[in-house]
């Protein structure tokens, strides 16, 4: 059972007791990410994620790492466009220590200037690592091109120039304005006593008094970008995008199924047609990115430059076939089984369950029961998917392609 609470300072807490496991997974979720940064702050959300691991008034960076290694647990964090998550997984007997350590990191980090300058170099190396990997870089570049000029299009890592400008006071000011109780959720899933966990969270988080100062940005405008960047590489890497749905949109369940049929599984049309039947790409897949007010549906492929144009045109043909003829009953049945099966298998992990209840609370403001999801997925029919496809593909694909200098890549600009 999932228990929901709100502390007096506005912090939301969700706890799920699972008596038949030995692990406890916990997460602190903050509704701030790269889209909440102004240009002078670019990359600060991600950089802060790093700095929270660099020492508190009680423990050095090394000692923080040793806390979790010493109890056989793990701790990590990640930053997205719209939120940041700090998460840990430990044995039930170590839950108290893990939660106290997480709270210390978030509320008692010292942000030592020496550590700060050292970590800037680490993140700059991280930026270079992604830039050197075209298979990764193209996914960032399609969003940057499609949402150019909007904070949602900014790179989560920031830039070398923006990172250099960050100092201790800017980090503290950002924390004071965004790491506020009403902008945070604590989620816990595993073998716990609910009352004890709630009392601990009240002790560690209940005294925080900060008021959220939001950097307000309007929803982005989709830009039909067509970008080819020359790189001294062997393969062509391309990412195509069309506007999609926000994460609370009622069409999301249908989109999940359509994505599965088009390119998110090994039995999908893109994978079977382009890789299995023609051997024209090792990697080809579709996916979607949902945000609070918009979304993208994307297709990625990597192929030899001599075949990339044909692969791109095959993708358009496969999409056109779905627009014209819809999907088959067998495809829909298989997709439902895959989606529901994956969802139910995920419930066997306390980490997955903690993430699910945390994100539901943070992004939707409510808990979505597993049965509600499975029923909604089961109700989707072929007509629903046809209607969703018509909405998705009425706009021409934006694309970014990275490839060798002697080749180019283009796709027709008209809508399908």
**C-alpha dihedral sign at 195, 199, 204, 207:** positive
In the annotation, is 329 catalytic?
no
Token pair for residue 239?
Answer: 């990412």
118 Cβ contact list (under 8 Å, min separation 6): none
Backbone phi, psi, residue 154, to 5°? -70, 145
In DSSP terms, 404 is beta-bridged to: none
381 Cβ contact list (under 8 Å, min separation 6): 332
Out of 16, 49, 331, 361, the active site residue is 49
Pairwise CA distance, residues 111 & 54, whole Å:
7
Q: What is the CA radius of gyration of the chain?
A: 23
Token pair for residue 59?
Answer: 């423990």
Pairwise CA distance, residues 316 & 262, whole Å:
11
Strand ranges inside 45-128, DSSP E:
74-79, 84-91
Backbone phi, psi, residue 126, to 5°? -65, -45
For Cα atoms 354, 30, 37, give the angle at the middle one, nearest 5 degrees.
Answer: 145
Pairwise CA distance, residues 331 & 218, whole Å:
38
Beta strand 2-6 with 23-30: parallel, antiparallel or unpaired? unpaired
Torsional class of 46: left (φ above 0), alpha (ψ -120 to 50), beta (otherwise): alpha
* DSSP code, position 109: B
Token pair for residue 381?
Answer: 């029919």
Backbone phi, psi, residue 170, to 5°? -65, -40
Active site residues: 49
């Amino acid at each position: 059972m999932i228990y929901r609470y709100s502390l007096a300072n506005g912090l939301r807490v969700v706890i799920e007791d699972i008596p038949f496991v030995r692990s406890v997974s916990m997460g602190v979720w903050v509704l701030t990410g790269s889209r909440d940064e102004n240009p002078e702050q670019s990359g600060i959300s991600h950089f802060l994620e790093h700095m929270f691991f660099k020492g508190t008034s009680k423990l050095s960076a090394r000692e923080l790492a040793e806390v979790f290694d010493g109890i056989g647990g793990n701790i990590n964090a990640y930053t997205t466009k719209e939120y940041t998550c700090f998460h840990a997984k430990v044995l039930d007997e170590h839950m108290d220590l893990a939660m106290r350590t997480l709270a210390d990191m978030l509320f008692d980090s010292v942000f030592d200037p020496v550590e700060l300058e050292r970590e800037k170099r680490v993140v700059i190396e991280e930026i270079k690592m992604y830039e050197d990997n075209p298979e990764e870089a193209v996914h960032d570049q399609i969003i940057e091109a499609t949402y150019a000029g909007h904070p949602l299009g900014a790179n989560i890592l920031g830039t070398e120039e923006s990172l250099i400008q960050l100092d201790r006071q800017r980090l503290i000011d950002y924390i004071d304005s965004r790491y506020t109780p009403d902008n945070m959720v604590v989620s816990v899933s595993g073998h716990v006593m609910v009352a004890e966990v709630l009392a601990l969270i009240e002790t560690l988080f209940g005294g925080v008094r900060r008021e959220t100062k939001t950097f307000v940005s309007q929803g982005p405008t989709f830009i039909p970008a067509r970008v080819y960047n020359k790189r001294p590489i062997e393969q062509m890497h391309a990412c195509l995008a069309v506007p999609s749905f926000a994460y609370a949109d009622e069409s999301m369940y249908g989109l999940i199924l359509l994505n599965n049929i088009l390119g998110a599984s090994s039995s999908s049309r893109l994978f079977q047609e382009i890789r299995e039947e023609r051997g024209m790409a090792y990697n080809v897949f579709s996916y979607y990115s949902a945000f609070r007010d918009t979304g993208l549906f994307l297709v990625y492929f990597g192929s030899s430059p001599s075949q990339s144009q044909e692969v791109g045109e095959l993708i358009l043909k496969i999409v056109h076939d779905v627009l014209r003829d819809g999907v088959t009953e067998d495809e829909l049945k298989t997709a439902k089984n895959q989606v529901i099966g994956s969802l139910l298998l995920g419930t066997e992990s306390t980490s997955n369950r903690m993430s699910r209840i945390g994100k539901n609370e943070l992004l939707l403001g409510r808990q979505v029961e597993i049965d509600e999801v499975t029923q909604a997925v089961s109700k989707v029919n072929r007509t629903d998917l046809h209607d969703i496809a018509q909405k998705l593909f009425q706009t021409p694909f934006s694309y970014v392609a990275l490839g060798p200098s002697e080749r180019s890549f283009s796709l027709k600009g008209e809508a399908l």
